[in-house]
Amino acid sequence: MALADAGSALTGEQRAIRDVVHEFAVEEIRPGAREADEREEFPEDAWDGLADLDLTGLTVPEEYGGFEADRTTYSVVNEEVAYGQLAVATALSVHCLATSCIATFGSDELKAEWLPRMVEGRPVGMFALSEPQAGSNPAEMETVARREGDEYVVNGEKQWITNGERGGVCVLFARTDSDDPGSITQFLVPKDVDGLEVGKREHKLGLRASDTTALLFDDVRIPAENRLTEEGRGLSAAFEILTGGRIGIASQAVGVAQAAFDEAREYAGEREQFDGPIGEVQAIRHKFAEMGTKLHASRLLVREAARLEDEGEDPRIAASMAKYHASEAAVDVCNEAVQIHGGYGYVSEFDVERFYRDAKITTIYEGTTEIQKKIIARGLLD
């Protein structure tokens, strides 16, 4: 039984898309992943390939040239791109967060100006919500966009910005009243405006090929028509978009776990100790039983959350369950994959070392495990 198919309930079209993206991940993304990670450079050729497959327009309506994928298709694409390299999948998912915000909340003029170009892959989108003192609780953000006539003047700092160096347009969240945490509003900010500076690049445990920076806003002036939401509606709008984003991150966790599982299975069939392949040793076989079960359960949770959204039901609790379980399972599966490789799993010559480092971030970004548990408990008990 193929774990990727069991219980998946994918349509024929979704399976075809999955197979195309899987092939691209294996043949075009994975071969350069190790070098990209070591050099901490994003593989732009892989990004251009995603654009050629129309995947940089994954969440954009067809009228603007986009793919307009349902959530299940979005999930499948995220899983398969992450199977190639999580850093590439992360860049894509953040780009899609930005296009989703513009498509959902932007004016017709903003959508017409930005979405067709973003479908083609440039400019790359950024999503600026977190701040140095406001991560899990974005209501504590301090960035302010003060209205002056037909403009807003933005001052503040954003942190953990994926695509921070290579991005070209930012979806920004800022208070319109410095004294009111309920005034958070969403704006579209081009990267090349005066006063916007890219901060230092973070050097990370994993996800090294993905550029993660701060964004510094010093009297940045943006036209009032670049406001995406009504004043005070920015945070609720962010949560609306992030629910789908969490399904995407859960899908990425499944993709990394599947990659680690496959590498470990191949290694266990080739590595010989005690007069035979280590895959015949009961202790190793039990590891695969546990890994496979966790992987399969994660995929089913992800598909269920995606199904709920596609059918118009509230997916928030299911999305948090999927994100919580899949991310923690990914760390466990990658850990066991390293263990199965023994000493070879600890060196960069083998991909499981990178999978292990990369997997950890899925328990942190777009809502930590602890935040997911809080959401789940509130939905079950309150």
For domain 235-381, the CATH superfamily is Butyryl-CoA Dehydrogenase, subunit A, domain 3 (1.20.140.10)
Q: What is the CATH number assigned to the segment(s) 125-231?
A: 2.40.110.10
Residues in a beta bridge with 212: 162
SS (H, E, C) 77-116: HHHHHHHHCHHHHHHHHHHHHHHHHHHHHCCHHHHHHHHH
pLDDT at position 32, please?
Answer: 97
How many other CB atoms are found less than 10 A from the CB of residue 289? 10
d(CA 241, CA 125): 14
192 φ, ψ (degrees, to nearest 5): -90, 15
pLDDT at position 6, please?
Answer: 47
For residues 297 and 325, the answer to whether their CB atoms sit within 8 Å is yes
Q: Which CATH architecture has domain 12-123?
A: Orthogonal Bundle (1.10)
Q: Which of 171, 177, 123 is nearest to 145 (CA)?
A: 177
CA dihedral over 256, 257, 262, 268, signed as positive or negative: positive
Residue-range domain boundaries for the chain? 12-123, 125-231, 235-381
Is 68 noted as a catalytic residue in this protein?
no
For residues 187 and 171, the answer to whether their CB atoms sit within 8 Å is yes
Is residue 82 classed as helix, strand or coil in its secondary structure? helix
d(CA 302, CA 99): 22
**Which residues, at least 6 apart from 65, have a Cβ–Cβ distance to it below 8 Å?**
57, 115, 116, 119, 120
d(CA 104, CA 112): 13
pLDDT at position 1, please?
Answer: 37
Q: Which of 231, 328, 353, 366 is catalytic?
A: 366
Instruction: Mark the ranges of the chain whose per-residue pLDDT is less than 70.
Output: 1-8
End-to-end CA distance of the chain: 39
Q: How many residues does the chain have?
A: 382
Distances (CA, A) of 4 to 7, 15, 33, 53, 297: 9, 10, 22, 21, 11
Peptide bond between residue 138 and the one before it cis (omega within 30 degrees of 0): no
pLDDT at position 7, please?
Answer: 46
272 residue type, one letter: E
